[in-house]
């Protein structure tokens, strides 16, 4: 379950930047001086590291430890 969740979290920025663009392709409203579509892209580019960090945190629970185990 965690592996699936980690992959889903990693896919969210891609999905929002590729498949949601036709739905947010608007000039109005203007946010922070940017047309909405440019604000959407900039926001998801800024949120991508957070989504990947969360995906790594969730997926890390499935990985074995990096170092040698104590006997």
The pLDDT averaged over each successive group of 10 residues in the chain (71 residues) is: 84 92 87 91 94 88 62 53
Asked whether residue 52 is assigned to any structural domain, the reply reads yes
Residue 38 in any domain: the answer is: yes
pTM score of the predicted model: 0.74
On whether residue 70 sits in a domain, the answer given is no
Is residue 67 situated within a structural domain? no
Q: HSE (CB half, 13 Å, CA atoms) of 61?
A: 10
In a domain, 22, yes or no: yes
Which pLDDT does position 67 carry in this prediction? 57
Q: What number of H helices and E strands is found in the chain?
A: 3, 2
Sign of torsion over alpha carbons 5, 9, 14, 20: positive
The answer to whether residue 71 sits within a structural domain is no
In a domain, 34, yes or no: yes
Domain-located, residue 49: yes
- Per-residue pLDDT, 44: 94
Q: Which domain holds residue 54?
A: 2-60
**Residue 34 backbone phi and psi in degrees, to 5:** -110, 140
**Overall number of domains in the chain:** 1
What is the per-residue pLDDT for 27?
A: 83
Burial class (CB in 10 A: 0-12, 13-18, 19+), 6: buried
């Amino acid at each position: 379950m965690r592996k699936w969740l980690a992959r889903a979290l990693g896919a969210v920025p891609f999905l929002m930047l590729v498949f949601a663009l036709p739905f947010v392709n608007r000039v109005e409203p203007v946010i922070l001086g940017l047309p909405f579509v440019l604000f959407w892209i900039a926001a998801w580019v800024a949120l991508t590291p957070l989504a990947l960090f969360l995906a790594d945190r969730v997926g890390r629970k499935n990985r074995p430890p990096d170092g040698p185990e104590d006997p």
